[in-house]
Amino acid sequence: CLDEEGKVHGFGSSWRTEDCNDCSCSKTGIGCCTSYMRPVDFDEEKCESIFNKETCSYKVVEKDDHSKECPVHSWVG
């Protein structure tokens, strides 16, 4: 399989992209999906979600104090 960056991957292999997508190669082609869950049910007036590209994950924190995490009631991915 040839990915969008021009790298060749063998059949049965899998990898994670710079954009945090998990991909795999099979004889039918390349399949990719996000490797992270996105927070969707939290107090958006008081809190904000921040994506960490190094860990491929979101953290939901208070807008005024990023050291305080906010509860998240629902995630999608």
**What is the chain's Cα-based Rg?**
17
Residue type at 53 in one-letter notation: K
Boundaries of every domain in the chain: 1-35, 38-76
Per DSSP bridges, beta strands 29-34 and 21-26 are: antiparallel
- In the structure, what pLDDT confidence band is assigned to residue 11 with cuts at 50, 70 and 90? very high
> Comparing 1-35 with 38-76, is the CATH topology the same?
no
Q: Tell me the pLDDT tens digit for each residue of 20-53.
A: 999 999 999 999 999 999 999 999 999 999 999 9
| CATH numeric code, 38-76 | 2.20.25.590
Q: What CATH superfamily classification does 1-35 receive?
A: Complement Module, domain 1 (2.10.70.10)
